[in-house]
Structures are given as structure tokens and as C-alpha cells.
Amino acid sequence: MISRRAIERDGWRFVVPGLDTPAAREALIGLALEATAGRGQLVRRTLNAATRVVEFADDSGMRCDAFIKVFDSPHGIGALKRKFRGSRALHLARIETELNANGINAPEVLLVATERIGGREMVVTRRAEGLLAARHMGPYRESLARKRAVLHMLGIAVARMHRAGFVHGDLTPFNVVVAPGAPLRIVFIDHERTSRSRSIRWRPRLRNLVQLGHYDVPGLTNMDRMRVWKSYAAEIGASPAVRRRMLAMLAARVKRDGGLAPAHPTPMVTPAKLQEGNARAS
């Protein structure tokens, strides 16, 4: 886990597990403090956090991109959640560190910080190189063979993640990065709600699989979804009987979610299409 000595700067307590050289650490801390003041390129703003991207020099002097996520001070129900659930920043950093330690690709944690008085928190991670999995599935994909290879490896990577005891908090094609080069490497990002357990029941596993199939990615068919699920079942070591049961549970979950979901342009996969895809996917 994160065990480096803490550094105090401008009312913040920093721990920098991802950099060894003092110059690189000091430079990154300076960029992080600028981000807390609203400087830097804003890439995402949610209800309780802002994420900015900056360029920095790592230990080798190579210029890289880093994401700086600053969590707002908790108020009301948010403060109560932090009291019982603990620090969001430390959870995110711990999960990503544990994922990498278990051979599951996740962004490298460079810095974690907490504000002594204001209550804000911060996590800085190295940007995962590559393209979103959704890009490999769409009309701008490199080739059909590449698309199917990505789908196959995605199923294997999710199975390995589950086997290591992790359940992703929001496993969509937009939170999966395909690293450049060969062999294919899947990198899972956005782990604010990812959890780990000694024993994972089927329900959270199925939730992850359903999440992958919920999104209407141009060029992604029901057969493609089944390719992911079949690769998952093979890698997890599911017997034919368990595979049939998993398919039935997936179909029921998708039907239920489709009935509960509000009207939106994203088409849901129907049980009939699941059965069709299972028969036709190779």
C-alpha cells in the first residue's frame, strides 16, 4: 500500500508513492497545488469532484500526462458518508495500488493528499496510455479482427479481476482502456466505487457484465456482447451448467433493468437477443 513519508505543503499533507526523485516529487506537488486553486485544464466536473490534466516529468525525465482529481469538502450527507466509509481519495489510491499489485492493470497512483482544515482530498494518477475500448468497437476501429480480439481479451480481463476479488464500480466501455502495442493489455480506470472482497457472489459479477452491455456503442452488436461473456465464462472456469445459469441470470437482469430504466436512446439487450447471440457468437 502507500507507505512513503508524508510531506506538508500549504495546509496539505502529501504522500507521493509513485515518484522517487525529489525534483519530480516537488514539481508534481506544485502542479497539484495549482490544481486545487482551479488552474490547469479541466476535463471533468462532477457533483463533488473536479478532474484536471497536467503534463509533468517523471523520474526518468519523460514528459507524461497526469490526472489530478480534487474531491470537494464534504457537507451534509457527504460528511456522514465519509465518517462511516472513510476517505474517498485513500480508497481510490488503495484500490488502484492493489489492482496493479495483483496483476490487474489500473492507473499508477502518483500522489495522495488531504487538506488539514478545508477537508478536501486529492488523488493524482498517471494517465493510462491507449484508446477507450468503446473506440475499438465503433466505426473507427482498426479492423474487425482487432475488435474481436479486444472483446475476447476484455472478457478474460474482467474474469481475472473478479477472480482476484475486485468488483468494478462502473464497468462501462468508457472506463476500459486498450493499451497500445502487443500483446493486448486491458486497463481498467475510474475506481472510485470499485470494491474488494474475499468472496464475490454472482450478483455483483453479473452487474459488471450487464454494465458492459448496457451502452449503445456504434458497431457493438449482441453477438459482440456474447463474445465478451463467453470469454469471461471460459476464463473463470464455469461449467456448461453454470454458463447456462449465468446466461439466464444475465437475461433476467437485463430485462429487469430495461423495465426500470427511464426512456433514453440507449437500446437494452433483450433476453431473446442474448439467446440468439449465444448461439451465433464464435
pLDDT tens, 191-241? Answer: 999 999 877 777 788 888 888 876 667 777 778 888 888 899 899 887 888
pLDDT bucket at 85, cuts 50 / 70 / 90: low
Average pLDDT score over residue span 16-22: 88
Per-residue cell: 105? 492493470
Whole-number percent of the chain with pLDDT over 70: 80
Least confident of 55-59, 169-173, 242-246: 242-246
> Which of 95-109, 162-176, 261-275 is the most confident on average?
95-109
pLDDT tens, 249-260? Answer: 777 766 665 544
Tell me, what's the pLDDT at 47? Answer: 85
Tell me, what's the pLDDT at 282? Answer: 41
Average pLDDT score over residue span 116-137: 88
Rounded CA gap, 220 and 267, in Å?
Answer: 11
Tell me, what's the pLDDT at 118? Answer: 85
Whether this prediction's pTM lies above 0.85 is answered by: no
Rounded CA gap, 120 and 106, in Å?
Answer: 24
pLDDT bucket at 274, cuts 50 / 70 / 90: very low
CB atoms within 10 A of CB 173: 22
Checking if the pLDDT of 277 tops 50, the result is no
> Which contacts of 90-93 are long-range, i.e. CB under 8 A and separated by 24 or more positions?
90/2, 90/121, 91/192, 92/123, 92/191, 92/192, 93/2, 93/17, 93/123
Least confident of 153-162, 165-174, 211-220, 239-248: 211-220
Strand pairing partners for 124? 68, 111
Rounded CA gap, 279 and 157, in Å?
Answer: 23
Rounded CA gap, 57 and 22, in Å?
Answer: 12
Q: Report cis status (omega within 30 of 0) of the bond before 183.
A: yes
Tell which residue, 29, 32, 26, 53, has the closest CA to residue 42.
53
How would you classify the pairing of strands 166-167 and 176-179? unpaired
pLDDT bucket at 58, cuts 50 / 70 / 90: very high
Rounded CA gap, 25 and 18, in Å?
Answer: 9
